[in-house]
């Protein structure tokens, strides 16, 4: 099949590369000349493990090309995927569909044969019907269908998620469109991965409902963690005991400084807005949004306690700034709330992140970027672990503590334990959802 993918951001580029690896002839389109030049030079504008090598393999095989010319890209294409951004609209929390509708109109004006126009971007319920209206108005004679095909890619594991998905969701209106989409995903169907075919609205809703539910699990366990700190319970043991229940499962039950990233913050806000527009308030989702922001602010209070009530004059080393490991994505990362509070309070902040500097330099003014966690911690008053990169999971804590001005650690990802920290010479150690005294007593 020939497939065109409009937009080479995270979703578009990963999808285009993986479709080409299925054996399809894929053209990826972007209006940004710098990005197209970069891709044609074999460079990936985002950090995603394995993506650059997979892209190079399929470019060399002749199955993957890049262009700024949308009309040329969709010529002969059986499916055209819209994968442009849908950022949160200022003021009302809704997804901004400006780019989606502009691309839909451009596709309509350029298309000359039957095409399935597929929305890959995350869009509010009802958007695909709007896309259909836009296309019909722009080109009344065009033979086409629309389809909804939401993505469920985890940053840092996107290729594996695409190639071995939990499920593929496809929303269509006609059997003809369903057949085209079945041909697109035929390699997955042959390997018995679930393909869920629904109507347009259900496909759109599945994406929002799934992300809101996962955000709810994260926020719930963070609230339980706060209660554990007051009662002496250990959140890691609580999470394990909960997760063994098959009805609950163990995923997304890891306490931390709050969720961030490109999906959960944006999609929960959009779902809350959709509920308001239809007079069905999403009260749980609205509370999740509120509590998640409170969780981030609670981290600041924990750090203040470790700094004797003031950040002023303190030197603080922060390990990890991206919202999760194995990505360079800083969108809504807890670091964007926590680090400015420390800098604003008068702290000298040194940051270390394997990929975060690319975006973080502009987003976190006033911090010093370093490559070595031990150098960052030298003569520091506090070390804060914000992102659980593998590089931070096996630190020589004794070496780190030895050269600090005051050996204190805030482990906001529960990588280590009080016992580890005390043995290494740390004077103070806090984590999430665990009482330091109880942890020591139990030999954790």
Shortest CA distance to 187 belongs to which of 24, 42, 408? 24
Selecting among 18, 28, 228, 263, the annotated active-site residue is 263
Beta pairing class for 382-385 and 408-411: parallel
Kindly report the CA angle at 255 between 253 and 261, in degrees rounded to 5? 85
Answer yes or no: are the C-beta atoms of 295 and 326 closer than 8 Å.
no
Is 263 a residue of the active site? yes
Q: The dihedral of CA 47, 50, 51, 53: what is its sign?
A: positive
Shortest CA distance to 387 belongs to which of 258, 291, 298? 258
Phi, psi dihedrals of residue 173, rounded to the nearest 5°: -115, -20
Residues annotated as catalytic (active site), given as ranges: 263
């Amino acid at each position: 099949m020939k497939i065109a993918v409009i937009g080479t951001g995270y979703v578009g580029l990963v999808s285009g590369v993986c479709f080409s690896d299925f054996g399809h002839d894929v053209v990826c389109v972007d209006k940004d000349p710098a990005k197209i030049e970069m891709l044609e030079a074999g460079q990936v504008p985002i950090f995603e493990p394995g993506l650059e090598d997979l892209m190079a393999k399929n470019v060399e095989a002749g199955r993957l090309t890049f262009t700024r010319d949308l009309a040329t890209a969709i010529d002969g294409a059986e499916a055209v995927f819209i994968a442009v951004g849908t950022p949160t609209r200022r003021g009302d929390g809704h997804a901004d569909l400006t780019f989606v509708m502009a691309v839909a109109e451009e596709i309509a004006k350029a298309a000359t044969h039957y095409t399935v126009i597929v929305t890959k971007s995350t869009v509010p319920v009802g958007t695909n019907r709007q896309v259909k209206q836009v296309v019909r108005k722009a080109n009344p004679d065009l033979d086409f269908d629309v389809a909804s095909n939401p993505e469920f890619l985890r940053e840092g594991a996107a290729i594996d998620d695409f190639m071995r998905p939990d499920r593929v969701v496809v929303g269509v209106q006609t059997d003809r469109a369903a057949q085209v989409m079945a041909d697109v995903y035929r390699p997955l169907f042959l390997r018995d991965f679930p393909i869920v075919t629904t109507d347009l609205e259900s496909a759109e809703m599945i994406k929002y409902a799934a992300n809101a539910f996962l955000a709810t699990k994260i926020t719930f366990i963070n609230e339980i963690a706060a209660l554990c700190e007051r009662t002496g319970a250990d959140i890691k043991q609580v999470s394990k005991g909960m997760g063994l229940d098959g009805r609950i499962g163990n995923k997304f039950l890891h306490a931390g400084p709050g969720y961030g990233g490109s999906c959960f913050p944006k999609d929960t806000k959009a779902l809350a807005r959709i509920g308001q527009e239809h007079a069905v308030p999403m009260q749980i989702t609205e509370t999740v949004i509120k509590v998640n922001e409170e969780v981030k602010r609670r981290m600041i209070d924990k750090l203040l306690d470790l700094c004797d009530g003031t950040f002023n004059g303190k030197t603080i080393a922060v390990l990890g700034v991206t919202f999760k490991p194995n990505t360079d994505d800083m969108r809504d990362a807890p670091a964007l709330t926590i680090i400015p509070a420390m800098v604003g309070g008068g702290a000298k902040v040194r940051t270390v992140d394997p990929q975060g500097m690319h975006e973080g330099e502009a987003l976190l003014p006033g911090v010093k970027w370093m490559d070595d966690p031990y150098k960052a911690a030298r003569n520091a008053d506090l070390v804060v672990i914000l992102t659980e990169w593998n590089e931070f999971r096996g630190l020589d804590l004794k070496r780190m503590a030895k050269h600090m001005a005051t050996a204190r650690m805030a482990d906001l990802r529960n990588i280590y334990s009080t016992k580890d920290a005390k043995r290494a010479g740390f004077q103070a150690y806090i984590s999430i959802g665990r009482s330091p005294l109880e942890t020591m007593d139990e030999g954790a």
